[in-house]
Amino acid sequence: MDRLADIALADIAEVSEFWRGLGLPGLIDLHVHFMPQNVLSKVWAFFDAGHKVGRAWPVAYKLPEDERVELLRAFGVRRFGALSYPHKPDMAEWLNSWGAEFASRTPDALHCATFYPEEGAGAYVGRALDDGARLFKAHLQVGRYDPRSSLLEPVWGLLAETGTPVVVHCGSGPTPGEFTGIGPISEVMERHPDLVMIVAHMGAPEYGDFLDLAARHPFVHLDTTIVFSDLMDKIAPFPPSLMPRLLELGDRIVLGTDFPNIPHRYGHQLESLARLELGDDWLRGVCWHNPARLLG
């Protein structure tokens, strides 16, 4: 903890003060990334080059894996996602094997898995579920695939049947993709209305469209990842006119941060939520009760 003490003591104190002030036992963060180091190094290089939003994006917590886990625990994050995602065929099953191994040695990490539109996707997703996977990730922008692909029908069906949540990056931020936006993924929800989907980044920048989707489908949730932060307020601000809908759908919003791949301190995401002034009950739901209910 010596190195962490040098870089994060103030951050740890800030985060701990936040959840203790709400009377919570800690935090549940569903949008956290852990993946094989060779993959993560490429992700960090992508951020370092400024490709994420066309400007510098210094990764705040570029630490070895064990120190990142230790830091989350020091923050008081009791359960966290370990999301990874493929960008090409023949990658997802390997990531799933790594994710299962990571979860086996990290008891507070959720056993996470992923998929890609390819032959056998339904089979390996079924195996991941049998092995105990509790949270999935799909990234339509990075993967550049159509979620309506027939190759994914058995995947969506299995996830819906088992009630297993899937975090889906389907909004068009930071740059639009051929299959991002409300259209493709809304067709998936029409075909699989029992699918428990968590819209990453609240669907930025199409916030209103994805709030409408959640209003139509009771199993659609939205995560807070990066939204309301100083950076997002510059590139895709949340419209003030939509603020009342955050209260209306308050039981469907869950905490996400994108740790460790964030350009600000962890506590800034929490601070950003608090300054919305939607009330302590709303914050308690977002940061603990809503994700706890999703995880059973």
- Indicate if the pLDDT at residue 4 is higher than 60: no
Q: Are 10 and 4 in contact (CB under 8 A)?
A: no
Q: Which of 11-25, 52-66, 80-94, 235-249 has the lowest mean pLDDT?
A: 52-66
The ranges assigned to domains in the chain are 2-294
Chain segment 117-142, per-residue pLDDT in tens: 999 999 999 999 999 999 999 999 99
Average of per-residue pLDDT across 215-237:
96
Q: Are 129 and 158 in contact (CB under 8 A)?
A: yes
Distance CA 8, CA 12 (A): 6
Q: Are 60 and 260 in contact (CB under 8 A)?
A: yes
Quote the pLDDT of residue 245: 98
DSSP per-residue letters across 172-231: --SS--TT-SHHHHHHHHHH-TT--EEEGGGGTT-HHHHHHHHHH-TTEEEE-TTTTSHH
Question: Between 153-162 and 182-191, two packed helices, what is the crossing angle to 10 degrees?
Answer: 60
Residue 48: band (very low, low, confident or very high) from pLDDT cuts 50, 70, 90: confident
Exposed e or buried b for every residue in 116-134, given b needs 16+ CB within 10 A? bbbebbbebbebbbeeebb
- Indicate if the pLDDT at residue 5 is higher than 90: no
> E strand or H helix at 79, and its extent?
strand 77-80
Residue 129 tokens read as 């579920």
Residue 55: band (very low, low, confident or very high) from pLDDT cuts 50, 70, 90: low
Burial class (CB in 10 A: 0-12, 13-18, 19+), 234: exposed
Quote the pLDDT of residue 2: 55
Residue 34 — left, alpha, or beta (φ > 0 → left; ψ -120 to 50 → alpha)? beta
Share of the chain above pLDDT 90, in %: 90
Chain segment 149-186, per-residue pLDDT in tens: 999 999 999 999 999 999 999 999 988 999 999 999 99
H-state helical runs in 22-163 = 37-48, 65-75, 92-105, 121-130, 140-143, 153-162
Give the count of beta carbons closer than 10 Å to the beta carbon of residue 56.
Answer: 11
- Indicate if the pLDDT at residue 49 is higher than 90: no
Task: Decide if domain 2-294 falls under CATH 3.20.20.140.
Answer: yes
Q: Over the chain, what is the mean pLDDT?
A: 95
Distance CA 38, CA 47 (A): 15
Question: How many residues are recorded in the chain?
Answer: 296
Q: Are 31 and 200 in contact (CB under 8 A)?
A: yes
